[in-house]
Structure 1
Amino acid sequence: MDLSGLSWGMALITPLHRERPAGAAAILMWLVPLVLLLLQRAGTRPRVRRTLGAGLAGGLMAWAGVALASFMFHLQRPGTPKERAGPFLVVHMWWTIVAVMAASLLTAALVAAFSRRHQLVRALIAAQVTQLTAYAGVFLLYAADGCLGPLNTVFDGCQWHAGNGLRVGRTVVLLTFISTVLGAGCAALVGMGAAEAVRRVRMRARARGRVRGRRAAVGGSARADVPVPALAADVPARRASIFLRAGTVLALGAPAVFLAAVATNASPASSAMASRLLQESTEPAKQPARHPGGNEPDRTPPNSESSKLRSWQTWSWLNNGGAVHTQRITRAVLALDTEILRTAAKKRHANGKVDADEKTFNRLCGALDERAAEAAGYFPVPVQDLQGPWSEALSRLRHGARNCRTVSVPPKGSPPRTPAERERLFTTSLNEISEGMRDIGNAYRSIYQAADTHGK
C-alpha cells in the first residue's frame, strides 16, 4: 500500500521538476508576494505579524506530521540499520514529503479563507514560512537520528549526522519545492472560493432574517459625527514596521533563490535518492577480494554488493513506473471484467445467449492493449531472468486484447466470419487475456520479491 501511494505520488510531482516553466512560475509565486509586501502603502499592507504567526503554526503542524510518521514507522523498523536503509527508509521519506506538502497547502488554504484583505498574498507568504520551517524540521529529524527515542529512523546510537540531514533534506527539497509552491497557490484559490461561498450564504441568511419595518426618524436633529483628529504617526512604530517587512522579505527571499537553484538544476530519481540514503545510512561495504592470479572470476556471496545493486535497480524499476503500469493494466482488465459481468446479467434469448455491446468491448479491449503497450515500452526489468516472463506475459495480454478488438468490431477489409466463428474467437481472446493477467501477476510477484531481498 505504501509503495503504491509512493509510486502514484512520485509520478504526479516528479515531472514538475523537469519543466523550466514550472520552476520559473514557482520562483515568481514566491518572490512577487514579498515584493508586494514592500511596495504597498501604509494602511493597505497585509498584517505581517499574523501572517508570520500563521506560517509558524503551519510549520509546527508539519513537524507534528513528520513526528507522527516517524513514530508510526518506529514500531515497524527492521532489526538492523542496513535493513532500515532500504525501502523502509524511502517509504518513511515519502510520508515525510506528504507531511510537508499537506501542511503547506492546508496553511495556504486556511489563511486565504480567514483573511479579509490580501488573501492570496498572505496565503502564499504563510505557506512559505510553513515550507521553510518544515524543511528545517526534516533536517533536524535526520541529522539527529538516533537521539530522538521513539522518533529514530535508522540509527540507535545518539550521534549528530549533519551530512545525512543535508542529503535527505536536499532530496525532500528536490521533490517538494516546486510542487508545493504551485500547490499552495491552488490551495489559496480554493480557500478563497470556499470563504466567498460561505460569506454569500451568510449574507442571504441575514437578508432573510432582517426585520422589514424600520423606525422612522421623528423629530430631533441629526447629529453630525465629529471627526476625530488623526494622531501623529509614531515614528518608532513605523520604523519597526519597516524593519519587520524588510527582514521578512530578506529571510524568505534569500532561501527561495537558493532552493529554486537546487530544485531546478537536478532531476530527482528514486534510484538516486535510494543510493544516497544507502550511502549515508550504512557503513561502506568492503570490496570483494580478487583472486591473486587474476584469472579466476570473483565469486560473490548472495549478500554481495552486486546483488544489492540489482535489488535496488529492481526496486527503482517498480517505483519509477513498473508498479504504475501494472496498476493501469489491472484497472483496464477490471473495466473489461465489469462489462463481461454486466453482459452476462442481461436477459437471455431462447438459445441461452445474450447480446453484447460490440463497440464497448472494442473500446475496453483497445484500452487494455494501449496499457499493455505502454508497459512493454517501459524500461526492461534489471534482472534478465525476470524480464523474459514479464515480456511474455505482456505479449500474451496484447495478443488477446488485439484479437478481442478485431472480433468485436472487424476492421475494413478483414475476411468475413460467421457468427459462430466470431463467438469462438471472442471467447478465445478473453481466455488469452485471463491467462496473460495470470502470467503478469506471477511475473510481478517475482519482481517484487527480487526488489524486497535487499538487506536479507
Structure 2
Amino acid sequence: MRRTPVRRALLRMSAARRLPLTGGGIPDTGLRFALLMTLVTAASVSMLDTTLAPRPDDTPGDALGCLLAAGLDPDGSNLANLLAGVRSPEAIHDCLSGAPAVAYGKGMAATALLLAVAALVYWWLPRLRERRHATLPLEAVDPDGMLARELAELRAIAGTGDRVRFRVAPGRTTAGAVVHGRAGRYTVSLHAGLLVLYGVDRDRFRAVVLHELAHLRHRDVDFAYSSTALWRTFVALALLPYLYHEGDLLLRGLLGRTRSPFWPGVASITTYSLLSGLLLVLLVHLTRADLLRRRELYADAQAIAWGASPSAWDRPDRTAGRWRRATALLRTHPDWAERRRALAEPGRLAPVSALPMLLLGIAGSFLVHQLTVFPGLSETAATPWIAACFVTPVLCHLLRRSREAGVRAGLWLGLGLLAGEFVVGGNSGNEWLVGQPAYLLTFLLAGWVPTVWCAQSARLEACLPGRWARRAVVLLNGLVTLALLWGGLRWWQQWGKYQAVGVYDRSGALRTVFRETFPGPWRDYAFELSAATEAFPGLHSFNNSVPLGLAVMASALVPLFVHLRAGRTGLRVRRTLLAGGAGGLLCWLGLAAGSYALHAERPGTLRGRFGAFQYVQIWWLVVTVTGACLVTGAVVAGVSRRYWLLRALLAAQLAEVIGFAGVYLLSSADGCLGPLNVIGSSCHWLPANGRTLTALVAAQSLTSAVLCAAAAALAGAAVARVVRRFPAAARPAAEVPSARPRPALLRQTAGLALALPALLLAVVTYTYAPGPRASSAVGKPPTTSPAMGRLLELLDAPRTARTATIRQWQALAWLNKGGLRHVAGLSRGYLALTSAIGKAAAQEPTAQGTIEIDESEFARLCGTLGSRVRDARRYFPFPDPALDRRWSKTLDRIARDSEDCLSGTTGGKDGAERERAFARFLTNSPETVHALLFTMQDMEKQSEAPS
C-alpha cells in the first residue's frame, strides 16, 4: 500500500500516543550513565594523584609526612593508626593545609587533561569508524530513489528530522544496520544484506531501520559514544598506570627488592588498591553492558510502537552453551529470545532487577570515597551528600517505573553499599576485616529503609488528583529519600566505621567522660553505663542532624497529607492512628513502670538524685520511648499488607509524640505522683522542668527512635510474610480502603492536629536550651564540652613503632613538619629575654642599688614566649612515648617561666611578690633552656638513621 502524507501523519500520531518516553531518553538509564561517568571522573583524580605522587622509598611526602608526624605506623593496627590521627585533629588539619597545593593539584590537573583527551576521542570516534568500515552514499545503490523515499518516510515517523543520514556498508553481508555519530551529526550504516532484505522482506527491513532510529530518538548514541570515549581514555591514561604503579610496589616488596620502611605494612594497602581498581573495571563494564542491553530492549519496544512488525524478531537463537550463559551479563546486546520475551510481556522492562541495584550501591560507596580527593570535601559531610544526590534520582526513577514494594531492591542496594565499602572503604591497613564486622550490616538498613519508603510512596502518589499536586509530592518524596540515604551514609562515615574498628571500646574513655560529666555512684548503675556508652555515639549522630530529623518527620507526614488530599488511598489511616495511640499508651505504661522502679532506688537526699542518677533516669526514658516505637512499628508492619512501612512510621511517630507528652507530665508533676516520683519530693506543678526533661529526652531519641521503628518494621513485615505462607494464616491479599471519605476540611484539620505537635516538638528539641530559670527539681547537668574535649586525651597513646626505620621516619617527619619550627621559636623567645636582661644588667645601678627595666618590653617578650608554648602544645605529640613525656614536661616548665616573668613585670601585685616571681624566672630559666636543648638533641638522635 502506498503511504500518503496523510497516512504518514496518522502513523506519527499513533506513535506519539504509544511512545512512553520522549526524546529526552530513558530517564533511569540516562541518569545511570551520568552517575557512571561521574564515578569514572572522580576515580581518575585519585588514581592519577596516586600515580604522580612520590614513591614511599623517597623522603616522606607532604600528606604522608603529616601522618607520620602524628604517629602513623604502617605496620600497626587500624585502631592504633586511627587513634594516632584523632588525638591531634587540629594539628593534622594545620599540617595538611600548609602543605604545597600540588598534593591534589597533580591529580586534578591530570584529570582535566584526561577529560580534554576524552572529548577529542568522542569527536573523532565516528570518523575513525567510517574510515575503518568503508561506506558508500545511499545514491550509489539507489538510482531510482525508492529506497531513499522509504527511509525518509521512516525518518518522518521517528521524528529524527534531517540530522541523520543513511549510508551503505558494502563489505558487511549481514541483514543489519548500525547507527553512530556525535551530537547533531548521526549516520545509519545499512549493511549489504539489509539491502537484499529490502526487496524480499519489507517488514523486517522497516523493523531494523526503526530500531536504529529509536536509538537516535532515545539519545542512545550520545550516551554510548560519550561513555565509550571517557572509559577508553580513562583505561589508557589513568587505570593502567595506576595498576602498574600499585602492582610494581607489591611485586617489588614480594621479591624483596624494596628498602621501604612501609613494607610489609603497605602490602595490604596495595592489595586493596589493586582490588578496588579491578572492581571498578568490573563495575563499569557490568553497568555499561546492562544499560546498553536495556536500551536495545527499549528500542525494540519503540520500533513496535512505530508500527514495526513483531514477526521481524522471529530470529533463530544461537546454542546457549555454558560459556555463553556465563558471559551473558558481559554482553552489550541481548539474545533474540530475551528480546522476544520483552516484547511479549510489556511489563518485563519495568521490574527492577538485582544487578542494577547492586551496581548502584557499589557506585554510591565508590563515590563517597573517591570524591574525598577534591579540596574542601570530607567523608563525614560533603561526600555523602554528593553521592546521595547522584544515587537518589536513579533509585526513584527505577522504583517509580517498577511499582514494586522495594524490599528486594533495597536488599540489593544495601549489599552493593556493603561490597563497595568493604573494598574501597576504611578497611585498609594490616587488618583485612574490621574488629567488629557486625556493624557492616548497617549498610543493609541504609539501603533498605529509603528504598522501601520510596517505592511505597511512589505507589501512593499515583492516587493524587491533579498534575501539579502530584509533581509537588514527587519532589517531596525524592527529597525525603535523599535525606534518608544521606543519613545512612553519613552515620557510617561519622560514627559507624569508628565503632566497627573499636574506638569507643578503647580503655573505657567514653565511660570516663560520663563519670566526669555526671558524677555519682556509677558502680550501682554498671549496666546503664555500659549501654549508654555503647549506644550514645550512634544515637548522637542520628539526633544531631536537622535535615535527617526533618526527613524522618516528613516520612510520616507526607503520606498522611497525600491520603488527606486524595481520600481513598488504602493507607487505612484511622486504624494506623489507633495503633499509634495504643503504642503511646504502651509507652505511658513503660514510663510509669520505669518511674516506679527508679523511685524505689533513688538516693535519700535531693542532692544525691542529680548527676549519675538523673542521667540514668534520662536514659531509661529514652529506652522506653524507643522501645514503644519499636513495638509499634513491628506490629503495624506485621498486620499490614500494603504500605506497611508508611503505616509503621506514622504509627511510631504518633506513639513517640504521645510518649513525649507522658515524659512532660511525669516531670512537670514530679513530687505529686507518690510512688512514681523520681526526683522531687514536694508537690508542685513545674512546667519548666517538664520542658527541660522532655527536650533532653527528645534530643537523644527524636530521630533515632523512628529509624529504629523502621528497622523493626522490616523485621515485622518479614515475620508476617513467613507466617502468611502457612495455610491457616491465609487471608485476603488486598486491604479494603475506607468505605466513605471524610470531608476535605475535616481531613485537613485532622492532619494539622497531628502535624503541629510533631513540628513543635522538633522546634523545642533543636532550639530549647535549659536555662537558670528551670527549677532545681531537675538539676541542670554540667556542660559536656570540657569532658568531651578530654576524650582525646584519655585515649591510649599509640604504641611505639615496631621497626627502627619507621621510628626514625616518624621522628624526622615530626621535626620537619613543625617540630623544629616550634623549638626554634621557643629558643628565640629565650634569646630575646636573655638579650633584654643583658641590656638591663649593663645599666648603672641607682642610688638604692637597683636597676630600672622596661616592664612593658619584658611583658611583651614573656607573653610571646607563652603564646609559643601554646602553639607547641597544639602540635603533634612526639611519636616516641618517653621523649613525648620529656617534651611535655619541658613545655610545662617553659609555661611556668613565662607566667613568673609576666607576674614579675606586670602590675596588680605588691612589689615583694613581683620581685619573688621575677627571681624565680631568672633562677629557673637556665635549667629550662638546658632541658629544652637536651630534649631536642635526643629527638634529633631519634630521627637519625640507625647505625
**TM-score normalized with structure 1 length:** 0.53
- 1:19 has 2:19 as partner: no
Higher-Rg member (1/2) = 2
Which structure has more relative contact order (CA 8 Å, sep 6+)? It is 1
8 Å contact kept, 1:23–1:264: no
2:761 counterpart residue number: 259
Letter in 2 for 1:253: A
Task: Report if the CA contact (8 A) 2:556-2:646 is conserved.
Answer: no
Query: Do 1:97 and 1:176's aligned partners in 2 also have CA atoms closer than 8 Å?
Result: yes
Q: Distance in 2 between matches of 1:3 and 1:123?
A: 31
**How far did residue 279 of structure 1 move?**
5.6
Would the aligned equivalents of 1:86 and 1:278 in 2 still touch at CA under 8 Å? no
- Hey, what's the Cα distance between the residues in 1 that align with 2:779 and 2:619? 23
The one-character-per-residue Cα deviations of 1:138-195 (angstroms, maximum 9, x if unpaired) are 0010011011111101111111111111111122222211222333333223322222
Superposed CA deviations along residues 170-229 of structure 1, whole A, max 9, x for unmatched, are: 2222221122233333322332222223223x25998xxxxxxxxxxxxxxxxxxxxxxx
Query: Is 1:280 aligned to residue 776 of structure 2?
Result: yes
Q: Deviations over 1:286-318 (max 9, x none)?
A: xxxxxxxxxxxxxxxxxxxxxxx9xx568983x
TM-superposed deviation, 1:261: 2.9
Deviation, structure 1 residue 321: 9.0
**Preserved CA contact (<8 Å) 2:693 2:778:** no
3-state secondary structure, aligned to 2:680: coil
| AA partner of residue 776 (structure 2) | E
Q: Which residue of 2 aligns with 1:103?
A: 628
In 2, the alpha carbon distance for the partners of 1:108 and 1:120 equals 8
Q: What's 1:156 paired with? A: 681
Following the alignment from structure 2 to structure 1, what is the Cα–Cα distance between the partners of residues 570 and 655?
21
- Contact kept, 8 Å, 1:58 with 1:104, in 2: the verdict is yes
Measure the CA separation in 2 of the matches of 1:245 and 1:122: 17
Pairwise CA distance, 1:137: 0.4
Corresponding letter in the other structure for 2:777: S
Paired residue type of 1:262: V
Q: Deviations over 1:358-398 (max 9, x none)?
A: xxxxxxxxxxxxxxxxx6xx1x5xxxxxxxxx68xx34xx3
Residue matched to 2:139? none
Partner amino acid, structure 2, of 1:121: L
Residues 6 and 191 (structure 1), Cα distance of their counterparts in 2 relative to 1, 3 Å cut: same
Q: Name the counterpart of 1:166.
A: 691
Aligned to 2:712: 187
Letter in 2 for 1:246: Q
User: Does the CA-based 8 Å contact 2:610-2:779 persist in structure 1?
Assistant: no
Q: Name 2:582's counterpart in structure 1.
A: 57
The answer to whether the 8 Å contact 1:33/1:124 transfers is no
Aligned to 1:33: 559
**Letter of the structure 2 residue corresponding to residue 39 of structure 1:** R
Work out the CA distance in 2 between the residues paired with 1:204 and 1:3.
Answer: 46
Asked if structure 2 preserves the Cα contact closer than 8 Å seen for 1:38 and 1:246, the reply is yes
| 1:40-439 paired onto structure 2 within 5 Å | 40-42=566-568, 44-200=569-725, 202=726, 238-239=741-742, 245-265=747-767, 280-281=776-777, 312=782, 317=787, 378=792, 380=793, 394-395=796-797, 398-399=798-799, 402=800, 405-406=802-803
* Equivalent residue letter for 2:664: F
Aligned-partner Cα distance in 1 for 2:706–2:682: 36
Q: Which runs of 5+ in 2 are unaligned?
A: 1-526, 731-737, 810-880, 882-947
Closer/same/farther in 2, CA of residues 315 and 24 from structure 1, 3 Å limit: closer
1:76: Cα distance to partner? 1.1
Give the partner amino acid of 1:32: V
For 2:656 and 2:789, locate their aligned partners in 1 and report how far apart those are by CA, in whole Å.
Answer: 28
- 1:45-92 CA-to-partner distances (Å, cap 9, x unmatched) read 333332222111111111111111111111111111121122201111
On the 8 A contact 1:54/1:107 being kept in 2, the answer is yes
The question of whether the paired residues in 1 share the 8 Å contact of 2:633 and 2:652 is answered with: yes
Structure 2: distance between partners of 1:198 and 1:321: 51
Q: Is the 8 A contact 2:649 2:709 kept in 1?
A: yes
CA shift, 1:24, in A, is 3.4
C-alpha distance 128-277 of structure 1, shift in aligned 2 (>3 A): farther
Distance 1:260-1:14 versus aligned 2 partners, 3 A rule: same
Q: Name the amino acid aligned to 1:86.
A: G
Letter in 1 for 2:635: L
Distance 1:144 1:12, change over 3 A: same
Give, in whole Å, the separation in 2 of the partners of 1:313 and 1:51.
40
Q: Contact conserved, 1:112 with 1:123, CA < 8 A, in 2? A: yes
Instruction: State the secondary structure of the residue aligned to 1:177.
Output: coil
Residue pair 1:85, 1:281 contacting (<8 A) in 2 also:
no
CA displacement 1:9-59 (0-9 Å, x = unmatched): 2222112233343123223213212122213443x4333332222111111
In the alignment, the residues of structure 1 paired with residue 558 and residue 753 of structure 2 have an alpha-carbon distance, to the nearest angstrom, of: 14
Q: Using the alignment, how far apart are the partners of 2:697 and 2:543 within structure 1?
A: 12
Paired letter, 1:38? L
Alpha-carbon separation, structure 2, partners of 1:183 and 1:159: 35
Q: Taking structure 1 as reference, are residues 194 and 248 closer, same or farther at Cα in structure 2, changes over 3 Å only?
A: farther
Rounded to whole Å, the distance in 2 between the matches of 1:89 and 1:277 is 18
Tell me how many residue pairs correspond in the alignment: 277
Distance in 2, matches of 1:315 and 1:88, equals: 20
Q: Partners of 1:89 and 1:21 in 2: how far apart?
A: 30
Stretches of structure 1 that go unaligned for 5 or more consecutive residues are 207-232, 267-271, 285-308, 323-374, 381-389, 415-431, 433-456
User: How many Å separate the matches in 1 of 2:538 and 2:621?
Assistant: 16
Q: Distance in 2 between matches of 1:125 and 1:136?
A: 17
CA 1:24–1:132 in 2, change beyond 3 Å: closer, same or farther?
A: closer
Q: Secondary structure at the match of 1:35?
A: helix
Number of the residue aligned with 2:27:
none
Alpha carbons of structure 1 residues 205 and 198: separation in structure 2 relative to 1, 3 Å: closer
